[in-house]
């Protein structure tokens, strides 16, 4: 079992996001896990050029030139994905935005379905809710089940109780996957894409849906059940 965390801070191991995610993953719960934390300064992630080749051809020309291919592989191999972002003016950091832009097309193919995810937002004092809601939306749109959001503020040190609550929710999702309900937005997306791709004979997104057998389900809830 693997846990992979991407921290959208350029401050490396000094970053509060990095320190808190590390503290979280150092808890006994994760002892059987293979764990990796990457901060944005440790890797090269070029900004999306907007060519849309990912949507039309399923490939990103920049993947050959920077570290994104490697990072995508880590995301696909992970059982639990953690996205942690600094709160910058009530939004994710630019580094986190560059990262999610490069995997945008995964939102059309539920590429991370079956994975559990956790969000960390890290602020001085305020604005965590905007980052939580944005990253939660990104992850659920890619098919993840989000077990919880951790709001970190730098003037508070002890998050043991909140960490335990998220871990409990995560463990619950492994013990009782049938209780992991999809969000209304996931259901809506599934219906929209299903109607669009089922009549699309050329697109790479439709081809992915066919290859994965996504069309055989009547609802996202059924699809999710097959993967969790
Ligand atoms: C450009 C910038 C914008 C920030 N905006 C906010 C903000 O809107 N609200 C807040 O509480 N803290 C804000 N902060 C403080 C950071 O969220 C805080 O320093 C946090 O620890 C950064 O995460 P890191 O330590 O993982 O890099 C901002 C910091 C920077 C550099």
Q: Does ligand 1 lie within 6 Å of residue 123's CB atom?
A: yes
pLDDT in tens, 119-151: 999 999 999 999 999 999 999 999 999 999 999
pLDDT value at residue 113: 98
| Residue 133 confidence (pLDDT) | 98
pLDDT of residue 66: 98
Ligand 1 atom closest to the CA of 14, numbered from 1: 25
Is the CB–ligand 1 distance for residue 22 below 6 Å? no
Q: What is the mean pLDDT of residues 158-184?
A: 97
Q: Residue 117: its pLDDT value, please?
A: 98
Rounded CA separation 135/118 (Å)? 9
Task: Give me the residue label for tokens 């089940």.
Answer: 145
Mean pLDDT, rounded, for 112-122: 98
Ligand 1 atom showing the smallest separation from residue 19 Cα = 26
DSSP E strand stretches across 141-215 = 145-153
> What number does the ligand 1 atom closest to the CA of 10 have?
27
**Do residues 39 and 15 make contact, with C-beta atoms less than 8 angstroms apart?**
yes
Split at pLDDT 50, 70, 90, the class of 155 is very high
For residue 93, the model assigns a pLDDT of: 99
Ligand 1: does its nearest atom lie under 6 Å from the Cβ of 94?
Answer: no
Categorize the per-residue pLDDT at 163 as very low, low, confident or very high, splitting at 50, 70 and 90: very high
**150 Cα–ligand 1 center, Å:** 15
């Amino acid at each position: 079992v693997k846990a992979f965390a991407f921290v959208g801070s350029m401050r490396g191991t000094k970053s509060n996001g990095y320190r808190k995610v590390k503290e979280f993953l150092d808890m006994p719960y994760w002892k059987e896990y293979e764990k990796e934390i990457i901060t944005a300064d440790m890797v090269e992630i070029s900004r999306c050029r907007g060519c849309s080749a990912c949507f039309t051809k399923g490939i990103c020309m920049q993947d050959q030139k920077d570290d994104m291919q490697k990072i995508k592989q880590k995301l696909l191999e992970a059982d639990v994905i953690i996205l942690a972002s600094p709160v910058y003016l009530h939004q994710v950091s630019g580094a986190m935005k560059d990262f999610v832009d490069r995997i945008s097309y995964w939102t059309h193919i539920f590429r991370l379905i079956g994975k559990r995810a956790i969000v960390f937002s890290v602020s001085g004092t305020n604005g965590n809710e905007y980052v939580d809601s944005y990253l939660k939306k990104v992850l659920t749109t890619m098919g993840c089940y989000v077990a919880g959001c951790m709001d970190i503020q730098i003037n508070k040190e002890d998050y043991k109780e909140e960490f335990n609550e998220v871990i409990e929710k995560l463990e619950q999702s492994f013990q009782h996957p049938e209780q992991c309900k999809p969000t209304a937005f996931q259901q809506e997306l599934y219906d929209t894409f299903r109607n669009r791709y089922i009549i699309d004979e050329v697109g790479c997104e439709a081809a992915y849906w066919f290859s994965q057998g996504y069309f055989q389900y009547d609802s996202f809830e059924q699809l999710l059940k097959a993967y969790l």
